[in-house]
Amino acid sequence: MLSQVVELIENKQFFGITTHVRPDGDGIGSSLGLCWLLRSLGKTAEVIVSDGIPPSYTTLPGADEIRHTKEIDREYDAVFVIECSDIDRPEIVNLDKQFTVNIDHHSTCEHFGTINWIDSTASAVGEMIYNLCKAIGGRITKEIAECVYLALVADTGSFHYPNTTDRTLKVASELVKVGVKPAKISEAVYNNYTWGRIELMREVLNTVRRDYTGKVAFLRQTLAMKQFSGAVEGDNANFVNIPLSAKEIEAVCYMREVGCNSFRVSLRSKGEINVAKIAEKFGGGGHKNAAGLSIKGDWDELEREIVNCLTEAVEKVHSNEMELSFA
């Protein structure tokens, strides 16, 4: 919990910080925000990730100092593990032998850390880093503010997903007060992709279909599409959300081929349809309206199975609503 994290920081000196593979805006923004907070308190800290980071996040302060390593190769006093469902998510060897601090806002998270601070009411881990800064009596520097703001923007879809609360907006307002320029961050996140994104989007959207209810959309991305479009990692950000912009669509399954019979799956939904539960069934996890998983097998079969689960979930929510309206 938070008080244990505060005590640890006060008593120790040398910290590593890591996040999951294929890091997203909350993972990178929160890791860098925490790194700047620790440094502002006179501590030594560095961010280590096993993957490269998408271009959208390279303009963040400290992004150029991130160390890319697949193994713990230093004697840290503790390693903060940001936004990870389990100890293997960062794909860093020997992480399990460290004193770890698990910081996350997913309710599906395992309590794998030596210390675990999980707050499923936080819109992003970024919001938790802000709370940590306040709890430890730190000052929100411009660097911390920019990183944390990006984390909020990424996980709330620029403050329009249901996880946006009055607290999220209050934190965002505080960050703007200390110098964040919202338009600058949005420009870096949303207008910084390659032309390959547009080429890839055309191919992927060409595959979009609906189930028999017309409420579930599914779309695919092959390895060849990625290769021929010239898109780089991160260029497919938010493709999964495109079908949701149609008012009829209530759930989406976006499958991308990452190897031979091997896939990454993103699930999204509106309202009460819980895709985290469906992702968990297939070994993944996430939030009620945004979840993901990795899976191996026959593409058509897997897609059918996952889409069936989404159809069932949509129909169940509608039949519950009908029952309520007759009650």
Q: Which residues of 126-158 are buried (b: 16+ CB within 10 A; e: fewer)?
A: bbbbbbbbeebebebbebbbbbbbbbbbbbbee
Residue 144 in contact with ligand 5GP, rule: CB under 6 A: no
| Binding to ligand 5GP, residues 28-87 (CB under 6 A) | 85
Long-range contacts of 137-142 (CB under 8 A, 24+ apart): 138/37, 138/40, 138/41, 139/40, 140/174, 140/175, 140/178, 141/36, 141/40, 141/178, 142/61, 142/178, 142/179, 142/180
Which of the residues 71 through 110 are near Mn ion (CB under 5 A)? 83
Choose the one of Mn ion, ligand 5GP, none that binds residue 287, judging by a C-beta under 5 to 8 angstroms depending on kind: ligand 5GP
**One-letter amino acid identity for 309?**
C
According to DSSP, the β-strands at 100-104 and 115-118 are: parallel
Q: Among ligand 5GP, Mn ion, none, what binds residue 98 when CB lies within 5 to 8 Å by partner kind?
A: none
β-strand partners of 269: 251
> CA 26, CA 265: separation in Å to the nearest integer?
19
Question: Out of 293, 302, 309, 313, which residue is the one contacting ligand 5GP (CB under 6 A)?
Answer: 293
Half-sphere exposure of 168 (CA within 13 A, CB side): 22
| Stretch 263-282: interaction string toward ligand 5GP, x if CB under 6 A | ---x----------------
Q: Does 25 bind ligand 5GP (CB under 6 A)?
A: no
* Crossing angle of helices 142-156 and 166-177, rounded to 10°: 150
Token readout for 84 is 């990870």
219 binds ligand 5GP (CB under 6 A): no
Q: Which is nearer to Mn ion, 146 or 155 (CB)?
A: 155
CB of 15 to ligand 5GP, least distance (A): 23
**Site for Mn ion (CB under 5 A): how many residues?**
4
**Interface with ligand 5GP, residue 294, by CB under 6 A:** yes
* Diameter over CA atoms, the chain: 63
Closest approach of Mn ion to the CB of residue 265, in Å: 18
- In the complex with Mn ion, the residue whose CB is nearer, 103 or 124, is 124
Nearest to 86, CA basis, from 69, 67, 106: 106
- Shortest Cβ contact with ligand 5GP: which residue? 292
CA distance 83 to 55: 20
Task: Provide the minimum distance between the beta carbon of 266 and ligand 5GP in the complex, in angstroms, as a whole number.
Answer: 3
* Residue 310 near residue 293, CB atoms below 8 Å: no
Least separation in angstroms between CB 10 and ligand 5GP = 30
Residue from 9, 20, 23, 26 binding Mn ion (CB under 5 A): 26
Binder of ligand 5GP out of 285, 310, 313, 314 (CB under 6 A): 285
Sole binder of ligand 5GP in the list 239, 243, 286, 309 (CB under 6 A): 286
CA distance 154 to 24: 8
Q: CB of residue 235 vs ligand 5GP: minimum separation in angstroms? A: 14
Helix or strand (DSSP H, E) at 67? strand 67-68
Q: Which is nearer to ligand 5GP, 46 or 104 (CB)?
A: 104
Query: Applying CB under 5 A, which residues contact Mn ion?
Result: 26, 83, 124, 155
